[in-house]
Chains A and B, each alone.
Chain A
Amino acid sequence: MSLDTDFMVKVAYTAIHGVPVTLKIVLVALLISLPIGVLFALIRIYRIKVLEQFVKFYVSLIRGTPIIAQILIVYSAFPSLLNTIIGKAAFDINPIYYAYIVFTLNSIATLTEVFRSALQTVDKGQMEAGLMVGMKPRQTFWRIIFPQALISALPNIANATLYLIKNSSLAFIMSVKDITAIAKTEAAFNYNFLEAYLVVWVYYLIICYCAEVIFYLLERYFSKYRRPTKKTTGFNWLPFSIKQPEIEAKTDLTESERTNHAQN
């Protein structure tokens, strides 16, 4: 058994052009789905009529179906849908837009759940304290509750990002020229699939580890208020300590917040 290393180097060079494509998909999907995820989580927490049912349905549907099915549906439904709106031009759209749509729709569902549980970990006493120093519920939410929730959500946002990065490797099914697609095309000439995918694998490992380190640093930076003392902890080399962030709904801030909203 031997690997064609020359070919691997060649693939490494060509497939690197797919890296920005993958990153673009991940970033666009994240940036759009983060605020929507927060919004959806709030809809669930404040139990807003009708909308709540919709969000529940949406999250369950997306989480209960394979991403490949979502890709196939969007990729088959949207072009003809757009066709009826903007005419023939719909078929000339860069497929990466379909990737944006699928992965955004998918991340919204994940992040809704992430923010929902994160918001529930913030003690309802925080809201009460805010009200008692004269702040409005909305002010207290944005200045006190949300920043805390965001930080406790970071490990789960990291998980969602990793999930997104990995899923984006399926964009090639929509003929997006990402890392996988480029490597696949290269390999098709000589049937060097193993070599090509090994290269792709390494790229994904690098991207995922970079994302983990970024989130680790973010967490470290933003959770300064959580560290009881100022002792310096050594760098916690991530690959050896995969966190399973525990989701622990401490108190239900729903009840009191809702009544307060009703009153104000």
Chain B
Amino acid sequence: MENIKLIVNFLGQLLPAINITLIVSLSSIILGSLLGLLLAAARLSQSVILRVLAGIYVSVIRATPSIIMIFLVYYGMPLLFNGWFHTNIDGWNRMYFVIIALTLLFSAPVSEIMRSAYESISKGQMEAGLLVGMSPFQTFYRIILPQAFVVALPNFANSVVNLLKEGALTFTIGVVDMVSKAQMIVANNSGGYAWQTYCALALIYWVISLAIDKGVSLVEKSYQKKRKTIAV
């Protein structure tokens, strides 16, 4: 009972820092999806070079620990910018580095999800669209995309949850997010109530993950309903 009270109390102290987590996650999701789209396009393109480069990129990211990616971006980018553009970006908000790192990480699985979703929609659909007189773009936009979206959705949501969890490493480069807030609370209590604090932290992430899962299954259900009503 005592512990539950403590956890609730810590929840109240941690929650204000949630906006960092949300900003970092949302920006990375948007930027990462765009980059992922480009990568998917590259992997589906006619050019062998583009396909191989995108393939290497995806496989390297797949083998890169998130923490290493964050460190590499954080320590490497200022050097790169200094060397190439002679600009000093040391003063950047550290959050930007995390967003860039997560964008790079997120884009790889997302590109794979987009690619396999696109490939799962049969060629026949494109041909059928062209045959009834739609332009390739119209066919893609009106026929392929909605179907690919449904196919990709569960995997995409899975990647979003992963991104959210990777975002918890933001604290490692000194951004005051929920994790680092939790560590501060523990430090302020001279190490006391540590596990209760971290449980509160885990709880917040758990609720967000559950919400994402729930949201996705709702969207999926509504799509299935639509499909049924159309079929009838």
Inter-subunit contact B155/A244 (CB<8 Å): yes
Inter-subunit contact A60/B65 (CB<8 Å): no
Cα A61 to Cα B204 in complex, Å, equals 11
User: Chain B's nearest CB lies how many Å from the CB of A192?
Assistant: 9
Q: Mark interface residues in A194-210 (1 if CB within 8 Å of B CB, else 0).
A: 10011011001100110
Q: Mark interface residues in A68-85 (1 if CB within 8 Å of B CB, else 0).
A: 111011001100100000
Inter-subunit contact B65/A239 (CB<8 Å): no
Secondary structure dominating the interface of A: helix
Inter-subunit contact A66/B63 (CB<8 Å): no
Cα A73 to Cα B186 in complex, Å, equals 12
How many B residues face the partner with a CB closer than 8 A? 48
- Closest-by-CB residue of A relative to B191 is A76
A263 at interface by CB-CB < 8 Å: no
Determine the chain A residues whose CB is within 8 A of the CB of B186 once the complex forms: 76
A64 at interface by CB-CB < 8 Å: yes
Inter-subunit contact A1/B80 (CB<8 Å): yes
Q: Given A1-B79, A242-B58, A244-B113, are A167 and B65 also a contact pair (CB < 8 Å)?
A: yes
Inter-subunit contact B56/A69 (CB<8 Å): no
Interface residues on A, range: 35 or more
Determine the chain A residues whose CB is within 8 A of the CB of B169 once the complex forms: 66, 68, 170
User: Chain B's nearest CB lies how many Å from the CB of A112?
Assistant: 15
- Closest-by-CB residue of B relative to A209 is B63
Q: Given A60-B210, A73-B195, are A205 and B205 also a contact pair (CB < 8 Å)?
A: no
Within 8 A of A (CB), among B142-194: 155, 161, 164-169, 179, 182-183, 186, 194
- Closest-by-CB residue of A relative to B193 is A76
In this complex, the member of A200, A209, A239 whose beta carbon has the largest number of chain B beta carbons within 10 angstroms is: A239
B residues apposed to A, CB below 8 Å:
52, 55-56, 58-60, 62-68, 71-72, 75-76, 79-80, 82-84, 112-113, 116, 155, 161, 164-169, 179, 182-183, 186, 194-195, 198-199, 201-202, 205-206, 208-210
Q: What are 6 A-B residue pairs whose CB atoms fall within 8 Å in the complex?
A: A65-B209, A69-B179, A72-B198, A76-B194, A197-B75, A197-B76
Further 14 A-B residue pairs, CB within 8 A, beyond A169-B68, A244-B116: A1-B79, A65-B209, A66-B168, A69-B202, A77-B195, A80-B195, A169-B67, A170-B169, A180-B68, A200-B68, A204-B65, A205-B60, A239-B59, A242-B58
A residues apposed to B, CB below 8 Å:
1, 60-61, 63-70, 72-73, 76-77, 80, 162, 165-167, 169-170, 180, 193-194, 197-198, 200-201, 204-205, 208-209, 212, 238-242, 244
